[in-house]
Structure 1
Amino acid sequence: MSYTKITEQSSLHEDLDQLSTLELLQKMNEEDKKVANALTEVIPNIEKLVEALVERFDKGGRLFYIGAGTSGRLGILDASEIPPTFGMPHDRVIGIIAGGDGAIRKAVEFAEDNTLQAWKDLQDYDINTNDVLVGIAASGTTPYVLGGIADAKANGILTAGITNNPGAPLAQAADIPIAMNVGPEFVTGSTRMKSGTSQKLALNMISTAFMIRVGRVKGNKMVDMQLSNNKLVDRGTRYLVEALNIEYADAKKALKKYGSVREAIKGIK
């Protein structure tokens, strides 16, 4: 397979070790400005993925992310924020990283090189044809991710691939390729930078649009968020003040009584 491995191309900036701190920061910012434009190009395929997720939701369909290193950590980050933000059960959006949970904090040597392990990891969750699997790999060549995508497809599961090398094996293998060309990294090959940023933006778009489409947002408010600290209780109270035109104290009492913004609105209206 012939393709350009953009993620390994030399940085557009020379002699980084000779630059001042200000110059380094300005040049990094210059590169980061390119990321959002790269996302614009892949919105049609992100739309396809979100629509597929919505279609499967009422059948109990789940969203799985698999990845290694930075990509795996970003998938876990996105998945872990869905329950507190949207009040969804922890088992509806699931992130899995090569090497297991220990690899979230500390790299596990050669974990990403096992082509069979991703499917084994997915079996712990009884993944099935109602689910969608998204593989994340900046290079588009990570064996752990490619193996998981191949096995999922062989078992009739819809797949998507998030990569920063258009035409890479992951983009070719996935049913829905999301290939974002952000150009060479500021530090050559350091895909935790622009590639990672683009992946985070793509994941934000996927999961947020998905949750909105299945009714977990009312207007522009997180009406199902978990009220797990004082800040969120205050936020929920202010949502009720705005939605119901009531006093703050009354809104706080209602929130405590009903347990969520959504239920309070229903109960009072």
Structure 2
Amino acid sequence: MSYQSKSNDFLKIAESFKLGRLTTEKSHPKTIGLSEWANSDLERALKAIKEIDLSLFSTVLEKQSEIELFQRDVQETLECGGRIFLCGCGATGRLSLALETIWNQSGNEKGRVISFMAGGDVALIHSIENFEDHPEYGERQLLDLGFSDNDLLVAITEGGETPFVIGAAETAQRTSKRNPYFLYCNPDDILCETVERSRRVIENKSIKKLNLTTGEMVLAGSTRMQASTIQMLVTGMALFNYNKDWPLNLMKKFEELSSSLLTPFIERESEIYKEGGGIIYNCDSKLGISVLTDTTERSPTFSLLPFEENSSSAISHHSLCYLSLLGESRIEDAWKSLLSRDPRTLEWDEIKGLAAVDRLYRFDISSELINKRRSYCKGEQYIFSLELNEEKLNIALDSRECEIDFSGFDLLSVHIITKILLNTHSTLVMGRLGRYESNIMTWVRPSNNKLIDRTIRYVDILLRERNIERSYEQICEKLFEAMEGASKDDPLVLKTLEGLI
């Protein structure tokens, strides 16, 4: 199919994916100039991001009465023998999987919390393109997992408009006697005016809504940051039955951490990449899911090559970083240890093995990965170590080291703070590598309809800054032309822009 035909096909459905009015898609006024600060004033960049992250805790406290109702329904389901299902796409899918892992590793009964994401467990490490655009896939994955009338679904979507999550939520509402929850981070009125499928959910009285609008993201549209953090906080509170003192104590702990804690690691990791080297994040299974989440999310956000599949054939292209799990020498054991359960993959004929278990095991996250990477990567591979020992998180890269004392804090608290720190770290490393402009994702990968619209909008912003006007349709066609034959690490926003100037 020609790029013109692909462009025309998208334009036929584009109205359903024009999301520029949503708060999560807009540019945060406090981080305009972030890419410049990442290079010239790292302290300023770190303080700006920390201030925005701290505001999430205030939002949680403001929503306390609604959170308590959510918590009550979750606990009642568990007490009555029901199960809690968590689902999402992309970042919210990964946080769903992370919460189940933390639940299992915290000594709770396995099988009481069941998580899934669009594309199954393979999507945790490698996005399955366009999967989240299909509501019927959300329905199918939910029912395939045995969701029943005594179970409760928590459907999590950063924007409030993801078709896959909406499909799962509407199916749960028809299947269970327990009304599902729908968590999202944009104002109801804007969603209802902008996206018909969102309006349908918001107006459905049999689906319980929990609006966690937190404002714009640190990096426009990068909902892997604040949106997924607050959703992880709130869902974690409900699952683990914490009172309002928990987020307060967590906020105080995060506030105590020095803004400059990450500076030497940001500087060194970006230097390593510029020198042609790579990073192997080496951690234990207690932290593995959160470290993997941050490192894999860098790929679609910044158009980096994704983690390579370690097959027997020669590897010619590889990611900047990878994950290796301490103490696990077999790939299968490493995945089971990271997830704290057996993998859940999709053995569907129609997706031709893209999300199957055989493919998952081609991503080697075992301790053997270190020697493998060093054998096929041209540049030197450095170890970035994160280990949780006796309530202390030890972080080390090259000669840089630090320790964070988590005495008195549970595993969920450790994961949430680690997530925030890693998100900040990777965003500023990418800023130093020129992977965004100001606070706009100029290297975003348009792998689904929402991201195609986002790419078009960002091109339009950059054109207008240059006093050039082009129609949505013109930008769309030029984008699809640029996508023809493009590699996974091409800057499609910038290539499209270049073709329109």
- Per the shorter chain, which TM-score range? 0.7 to 0.9
What's the offset of the Cα at 1:172?
4.5
SS at match of 1:178: strand
Paired residue type of 2:227: S
Query: What secondary structure does 2:241 align onto?
Result: helix
**Separation in structure 1 between the aligned mates of residue 77 and residue 232 of structure 2, nearest angstrom:** 23
| Fraction of identical pairs, as percent | 27
2:495 corresponds in structure 1 to: none
**Would you say the 8 A contact 2:83–2:151 is kept in 1?**
yes
CA distance in structure 1 between the aligned counterparts of 2:237 and 2:210, rounded to whole angstroms: 12
CA separation of 1:59/1:33 partners in 2, compared to 1, >3 Å: closer, same or farther? closer
CA distance 1:3–1:188, shift in 2 (3 Å): closer
Map of 1:154 onto structure 2: 174
Say what the alpha-carbon RMSD is for the aligned residues.
Answer: 2.8
Of 3, 19, 27, 1:10 maps to 27
Shift of the 134–105 alpha-carbon distance from structure 1 to 2, 3 Å rule, reads same
Unpaired stretches in structure 1, ≥5 consecutive residues? 211-227, 233-269
Offset, 1:3: 11
What is the distance in 1 between the residues matched to 2:170 and 2:24? Answer: 23
Contact 1:4 1:165 in 2 (8 A): no
Query: Is the counterpart of residue 96 in structure 1 residue 116 in structure 2?
Result: yes
Which whole-Å CA distance do the structure 1 matches of 2:223 and 2:79 have between them?
Answer: 36
Aligned to 2:159, what secondary structure does the other structure show? coil
Q: Displacement, 1:15?
A: 2.0
CA distance in 1, matches of 2:202, 2:225: 20
1:3, 1:55 → 2: CA distance? 39
Query: AA paired with 1:131?
Result: D
Matches within 5 A, 1:128-207: 128-156=148-176, 157-167=178-188, 168=191, 169=198, 171-173=202-204, 175-207=207-239
Aligned length: 215
1:37 matched to which residue of 2? Answer: 58
Alpha carbons of 1:171 and 1:44: their partners in 2 closer, same or farther (altered >3 Å)?
farther
Q: CA deviation at 1:81?
A: 1.5
Tell me if 1:119 matches 2:151. Answer: no
Kept after mapping to 1: 8 A contact 2:74/2:238: no
Segments of 4+ in structure 1 off by > 4 A? 1-4, 170-174
**Structure 2 CA distance for partners of 1:114 and 1:34, relative to 1, 3 Å:** same
Alignment-derived partner of residue 49 in structure 1: 70
- Structure 1 residue 133: Cα displacement: 0.4
Q: Secondary structure at the match of 2:155?
A: strand
Normalised by the size of structure 2, how large is the TM-score? 0.40
- Residue pair 1:163, 1:180 contacting (<8 A) in 2 also: yes
Check whether the contact 1:160–1:177 (CA below 8 A) recurs between aligned residues. Answer: yes
Q: Give TM-score scaled by structure 1 length.
A: 0.73
Counterparts in 2 of 1:8 and 1:180: CA distance versus 1, 3 Å? same
What SS class does the counterpart of residue 82 from structure 1 fall into? helix
CA distance change for structure 1 residues 186 and 172 in 2, over 3 Å: closer, same or farther?
farther
| Residues in 2 aligned to 1:47 and 1:160: alpha-carbon distance in whole angstroms | 13
More moved, 20-29 vs 134-143: 20-29
Q: For 1:146 and 1:3, locate their aligned partners in 2 and report how far apart those are by CA, in whole Å.
A: 20
Higher RCO (CA < 8 A, seq sep 6+): 1
Is the 8 Å Cα contact of residues 84 and 113 (structure 2) preserved in structure 1?
Answer: yes
SS of the equivalent of 2:135 reads coil
- Measured after TM superposition, the shift of residue 175 of structure 1 is 2.6
Query: C-alpha distance in 2, partners of 1:63/1:22?
Result: 41
Query: 2:168 is matched by which residue type in structure 1?
Result: G
Displacement of 1:171: 4.7
Distance in 1 (alpha carbons) for counterparts of 2:179 and 2:212: 20
CA positional deviation for 1:140: 0.3
Please identify, of 98-107 and 174-183, the stretch whose mean Cα deviation from structure 2 is larger.
Answer: 174-183
